[in-house]
Structure 1
Amino acid sequence: MNDHRKLGRSLELFDTDPMIGAGLPYWLPDGAIVRHTLEEYIRDVERRHGYKHVYSPVLGKRSLYELSGHWEHYHDDMYPPMAVGEEEMVLRPSLCPHHALIYRSRSRSYRELPLRIAEIGGMFRSELSGVLGGLTRVRAITLNDAHIFCTLDQVAAEARAALDLIHAAYASMGVSVARYRLSLPGEGAKYVANPEDWARAADILRDVLGDLPYEAVAGEAAFYGPKIDIQIADPMGRESTLSTIQVDFHQPAQFELEYIDAQNTKQRPVMVHRSIIGSLERAVAHLIEQHGGAFPAWLAPVQIAVLPVSGNEIPAAQKFAELCVNRGLRAEIAYEGSLGARIREARLVPYQAVIGPKEAAAGEVALRLRDGKHLDAQPGEHLIGHIAAQTESHAPTLW
């Protein structure tokens, strides 16, 4: 059974230290590569689909979260305010208030909509120590977040497009959807009181889900609106939410967001919240457990292990590794131990490039794939081109 906490530490992906604190893991070099590669992937996907990336502060005045509704409805999960002079500053529990202010920073025309603002940003949740675990429940979260400001008649299409991006990302990561959940409000003061907006938003999300099998669950909505939760399952079958799509009429009203329509009249946009791969922490935790450390080739910390059979082949191995690195691949040479021991040590590496006397003399490489397939010796540059094309396409397969 793959437990990401044990496997992540044994593979030197991440760790924790009591001097830093519970729920605050740090990333080791190989884990940082996985995380960075995911960030690059999602930024590129978003850029190609019309998103504009921003950076916003992880702090805000308490009054900001009072305006957004977080302070009233989400206060128990937030850290207490910090006194800074005469102001009270708060570590943000969400990115949406900042993005609302970015939208509000100047006047907007209907021609700009939908405006898709994206950020891979930090946020903070005051989790109790008893629920913290590895990367799945942490106190400092890095979220692949975006907010789409659009007209009412654009909402469904934008939500469907977000769902398509989620499906494409899961296919590239080798991740399966366990269940689709339509998360609806429950009873009590946890949710903003506007039945008409709740019903309208829920109807839109039902339409987006269409023929997909889903379960409607009361009490799991965001405080401001219903959402589609994409559920994943760990090896024990325990579910958690990785990706979400939310429709929000509340915050645009709170922040008095506007756009000028074709008749030169002020209108209020709708806000679609969406996260394609969720938090980087939870995504990597699930990838570790899903693949047992044998990540898809494009995500692997080391993509090619270069294995010279003897010391005589080290110059050829160094030249091949340099060609790999220059092509944007992550390659390392394994020098120590017998060839068999080095092959076993590199069992999680997608590609093992073996160079013996014959290959070195001919400028070739004998490639072993992680799945056990062996390829005949081929020119090194040819293999590099094929592997690079495979990884650059984010294909879940090795060849």
Structure 2
Amino acid sequence: MPADHRKLGRDLDIFDSDPLIGAGLPFWLPAGAAARHEVESYLYDLERRAGYQHVYSPVLGKRRMYELSGHWDNFSDDMFPPMRLGEEDLVMRPSLCPHHALVFRSRQRSYRDLPVRVAEIGGMYRAERSGVLGGLTRVRSISLNDAHIFCGPRDVAGEVAGVLALMRQAHAALGIAVSSYQLSLRGAGEKYAGVEEGWAQGERLLQEALDAEGVAYEAVAGEAAFYGPKIDVQIADPAGRESTLATIQIDLHQPAQFGLAYRASSGALERPVMVHRSLVGSLERLFAALLEAHAGAFPVWYAPVQVVALPVGAAERDAAAAFRRAAMDAGLRAEVDDDGSLGARIRSAAGRKVPYVAVIGEREASGGEVALRLRDGRRLPAMPAAEAVALIGDVAARRTLALG
């Protein structure tokens, strides 16, 4: 039977929900928060090294901002109702892009500054109907790994290629297999923002970028965002059902609506292209996919607990505590379990999908050693505690999917 992230998430203390908070509003439990924090830190560093500048922006905005962006006319059915505050209508944002457009607009820009890459893991809110809510895949409170690149038209292909490369790197580290790529285009008779010329240019730019990268894709009409065409990176769940994990979108509409401009080498003001991109989509959908892809056994680098120390008896508790301190000092997430029989504690660690168990008996304690048991069933010969910490730390640092 295929893994179900809803059961795994609750069994492994990743997330839960409560009627007092409401449907579609899950909360992250300590184990889930630890794994999520590690993934967020990885994404932040990956983007930073690729030239992205990270920002924080508010989860509220005036209704007028979403009227300008086009969200109010094209997306209001999926937005929470405005909140009246004095003379203003404030809206919980359904998307981060208008805020990032204003980040770009907040400073004078020159062609020498481009591309400007603005990134954020930010909250957004969508009024999903109760009948479609489920686990982490359809929620009302969303934490999006989002970024927007502002560049000239001639730089779009290179920027899209760079995003695709970052996606491949992130997906490999997380253990995600892409099933297909989809070029999502306009559909006949549907309502879209912007002008025909902008849409034609956006579709051409994305198609040229995909062709230049040699990426096989299927063009699908009617799946574009209301403001522009997009590349949808698809994954399949254990039952073979496809869903979108990551996206790259071309937008010529919002730069015009918000009056975005940069000074070209000629001295004239020109309009940038806005490239929306998310390497892994929302953290909620990402972890739903990760739970099912790994059946809850996350790779070592973002496993909630990477090693648990098991003293055989009371005499080895101090040695187990010392091992845990050494592991934590080395940056690992480690615990001690000394409650119950050794067999029961080993089974408990296996049920929690902990990658490494460090058994410490009388012999190991007297020699400053531990005997490692790996999640895949292997047992390593007793080794110095420092060597075991270094082994686990090396596997985590390399972000390999193997246990070493």
TM category, shorter? over 0.9
Shift of 1:305: 1.2
> How do 1:90-101 residues align onto structure 2 when only pairs under 5 Å count?
90-101=91-102
Cα 1:142/1:183, change in 2 over 3 Å = same
With normalisation by structure 1, the TM-score equals 0.97
Is residue 218 of structure 1 aligned with residue 221 of structure 2? yes
Contact 2:194/2:252 (CA < 8 Å) preserved in 1?
no
Is residue 273 of structure 1 aligned with residue 276 of structure 2? yes
Partner of 2:239: 236
Is residue 295 of structure 1 aligned with residue 295 of structure 2? no
Partner of 2:334: 331
Deviation digits for residues 256-300 of structure 1 (CA, Å, limit 9, x no counterpart): 111111222211111110001110000111111111111011111
Contact 2:233/2:244 (CA < 8 Å) preserved in 1?
yes
Write out the 4+ residue segments of structure 1 that deviate beyond 4 Å after TM superposition.
none
Task: Output the amino acid matched with 1:143.
Answer: L
Quote the Cα distance in structure 1 between the aligned partners of 2:244 and 2:90.
29
Deviation digits for residues 311-331 of structure 1 (CA, Å, limit 9, x no counterpart): 211111111110000111000
Q: Tell me how many residue pairs correspond in the alignment.
A: 399
Which shifted more, 333-342 or 100-109? 333-342
User: What secondary structure is seen at the aligned counterpart in 2 of 1:120?
Assistant: strand
Quote the Cα distance in structure 1 between the aligned partners of 2:23 and 2:287.
18
Task: Output the amino acid matched with 2:10.
Answer: R
User: What secondary structure is seen at the aligned counterpart in 2 of 1:346?
Assistant: helix
Partner of 1:82: 83
Quote the Cα distance in structure 2 between the aligned partners of 1:49 and 1:296.
24
Quote the Cα distance in structure 2 between the aligned partners of 1:322 and 1:148.
43
Shift of 1:111: 1.0
Quote the Cα distance in structure 1 between the aligned partners of 2:149 and 2:99.
13
Partner of 1:4: 5
Shift of 1:193: 4.5
- Structure 2: give runs of 5+ residues left out of the alignment: none
- Structure 1: give runs of 5+ residues left out of the alignment: none
Deviation digits for residues 11-66 of structure 1 (CA, Å, limit 9, x no counterpart): 12111111111101111111111111111111111111111110111111111011
Is residue 252 of structure 1 aligned with residue 262 of structure 2? no
Shift of 1:196: 2.2
Which shifted more, 242-251 or 379-388? 379-388
> How do 1:43-58 residues align onto structure 2 when only pairs under 5 Å count?
43-58=44-59
User: What secondary structure is seen at the aligned counterpart in 2 of 1:112?
Assistant: coil
Q: Give the counterpart of 2:382 among 347, 354, 377.
A: 377
Shift of 1:216: 1.0
Partner of 1:201: 202
Q: CA RMSD in A?
A: 1.2
Is residue 350 of structure 1 aligned with residue 355 of structure 2? yes
User: What secondary structure is seen at the aligned counterpart in 2 of 1:110?
Assistant: coil
User: What secondary structure is seen at the aligned counterpart in 2 of 1:328?
Assistant: coil
Partner of 2:397: 392
Contact 1:74/1:190 (CA < 8 Å) preserved in 2?
no
Task: Output the amino acid matched with 1:380.
Answer: A
Contact 1:307/1:339 (CA < 8 Å) preserved in 2?
yes
Task: Output the amino acid matched with 1:46.
Answer: E
Quote the Cα distance in structure 2 between the aligned partners of 1:140 and 1:65.
18
Task: Output the amino acid matched with 1:249.
Answer: L
Deviation digits for residues 227-248 of structure 1 (CA, Å, limit 9, x no counterpart): 1111112222222111101111
Task: Output the amino acid matched with 1:195.
Answer: E
Quote the Cα distance in structure 1 between the aligned partners of 2:91 and 2:48.
30
